[in-house]
Amino acid sequence: MRNTTRYPVTESNSLWQIYKTVPLTKVMKNFIVIQMTRYSPSLKLKNWLYRTFLKMEVGEQSAFALMVMVDVMFPEKIKVGRNSIIGYNTTILAHEYLIDEYRLGDVIIGDNVLIGANTTILPGVTIGDGATVSAATLVHKDVPAGAFVGGNPMQIIRN
């Protein structure tokens, strides 16, 4: 199991209860900022917006490619180390809403990490320093430092 905290719900599925867990105004603000970062060609502007408005920890010289989608509800649970690259159209989630519960978990991406295009990173995952994640990977568990991983589901290709 990933490192997430589970919150049971009883009334209806957890997504119908979303605004009991996160304010609508926060989601609206985050959505606008994230859309700006997705289309911005400026790496410095993206990092500034992530740090300033979304309260993400983003290390110096880290680069988010075009169309990266960070968690709209809990971006503050995402930490990216220094000199890392997050590839085109990658999705980084810090939450998951299920039928009977929702889960929250920090996503920690280390220093000098390369994330390939079209990757999805699930909540509660840590990607170690110097790791490489190949394109179109579903990162559903921790990635050891220095490892090369890929696939759906993710597997260690080289450690």
CA distance 66 to 57: 19
- Domain that residue 69 falls in: 5-158
Structure confidence by residue, pLDDT tens digits, 141-159: 999 999 999 999 999 999 9
Assign residue 20 the CATH number of its domain: 2.160.10.10
Structure confidence by residue, pLDDT tens digits, 108-140: 999 999 999 999 999 999 999 999 999 999 999
Is the CB of residue 126 less than 8 Å from the CB of residue 144? no
Amino acid, single-letter form, for residue 11: E
Count of structural domains within the chain: 1
Q: What is the pLDDT of residue 1?
A: 59
Amino acid, single-letter form, for residue 48: W
What's the pTM?
Answer: 0.97
